[in-house]
Amino acid sequence: MSQPSVLFVCLGNICRSPLAEAALRARAVEAGVAITIDSAGTGDWHVGRPPDPRAQALALAHGIDISSYRARQVTAEDFHRFGHVYALDPQNLKDLHRIEPSHHIADLRLLMDMVPGRKGTAVIDPYYGDEHDFEQAWADVCAAADALVKRFRR
C-alpha cells in the first residue's frame, strides 16, 4: 500500500491551509504515520509569499515553524499527485470541482466532513478576523488532523 498524500486547499494559501498542513504534519509525526502533505490556494493573489504573520505566530505558539512555507495555486496536476484533496470551505470545494480534470486519483472532500458532527461546515476564514478567529481555525484544523491520522493509521 502506498503512502497517503493530502493537499489542503483554501482561497489564498496563507492562513487556513498552511495551518492545516502544519497541524497534520505535527500530528502525523507524533503518531508515526507517514503522509505526504502540502497546501495550496484556489486564488493566485499570494503566490510565493509566506503565511500570514498571524498564522505564523499561532503555529509557532504551538511549537511549529511555518515561516518557510510559500503560497501556491492549486494545479490540475495536484489532482493526480494527491490521493486526498480537502477544501477548507464549501466555496473552495465548488471551485475545485470546477477545475478538476475529468480523470484523476484525488478523493475531493470538505475537510470538516472528516470530523464527527461537523459535516458540511467550513474552517473559519480568519483573514479579516482577529486572534480568536485564528485560534478557532487552529482548533478546527487540529480536530481534522486528528481524524485524518486516525483514518490513515488503519
Quick one: angle between helices 53-61 and 16-31, nearest 10? 20
Which positions ≥6 away from 125 have C-beta within 8 Å?
Answer: 10, 11, 15, 16, 88, 89, 133, 137
At 1 the pLDDT is: 54
Domain ranges of the chain: 5-144
Q: Which residues are known to be catalytic?
A: 10, 16, 125
At 154 the pLDDT is: 80
At 125 the pLDDT is: 96
Q: What's the mean pLDDT in 41-60?
A: 97
Q: Express as a percent the part of the chain with pLDDT over 70.
A: 99
Tens of pLDDT, residue by residue over 21-48, are 999 999 999 999 999 999 999 999 999 9
CATH fit for domain 5-144, picks 3.40.50.2300, 3.40.980.10, 3.30.300.130, 1.20.1050.10: 3.40.50.2300
